[in-house]
Amino acid sequence: MANSVDRAATAARIAEVIEPFNKNAIAIDETTSFAGDLEWDSLTVMDFVAAIEDEFDIIISMNQQAEIETYGQLIDAVTKLQG
């Protein structure tokens, strides 16, 4: 896989960004769901998306956000958006 290194690097940066948002210190893996497991309200989601966008200098539109349900899908999406 050509971009597995990119994906690992991206995952590491996302892990750092998500930490201050994970107030209940829930153990996060690739299958963790934002709505179901992290139970974030819409404001937290907005602030988190903005933090990810700023970290990687990308746009994650609402249309793209609708497709991202799990932590793994977020890493995939951000890896792809940097390309």
Partner 1 sequence: METVMTDLFSKFDPLIETRRSLLATGVTDPFSLVMEKVLSPTTAICSGRETILLGTYNYMGMTFDPDVIAAGKQALDDFGAGTTGSRVLNGTYAGHRAVEEALKEFYAMDHAMVFSTGYQANLGIISTIAGKGDYIVLDIDSHASIWDGCKMGDAEVVPFKHNDIEAMEKRLRRIPEGAGKLVVLEGVYSMLGDIAPLKEMIRIAKSYGAMVLVDEAHSMGFIGPNGRGVAEDQGVLDDVDFVIGTFSKSVGTVGGFCVSNHPKFEIMRLVCRPYVFTASLPPSVVATAATSIRKLMHAGNKRAHLWENSRTLHGALTKLGFKLGTEEPQSAIIAVIMPDLERGAMMWEALLREGLYVNLARPPATPAGMTLLRCSLCAEHTAEQVQVIAGMFERAGKAVGII
The residue ranges that bind partner 1 (CB under 8 A) are 41-43, 46-47, 50, 53-54, 57-59, 61-64
CB of 1 to partner 1, least distance (A): 26
d(CA 5, CA 3): 5
Choose between 25 and 43: whose C-beta lies nearer to partner 1. Answer: 43
d(CA 38, CA 24): 8
Choose between 14 and 60: whose C-beta lies nearer to partner 1. Answer: 60
Collapsed DSSP state (helix, strand, coil) of residue 60: coil
Q: What token pair was written down for 64?
A: 């793209």
Choose between 5 and 62: whose C-beta lies nearer to partner 1. Answer: 62
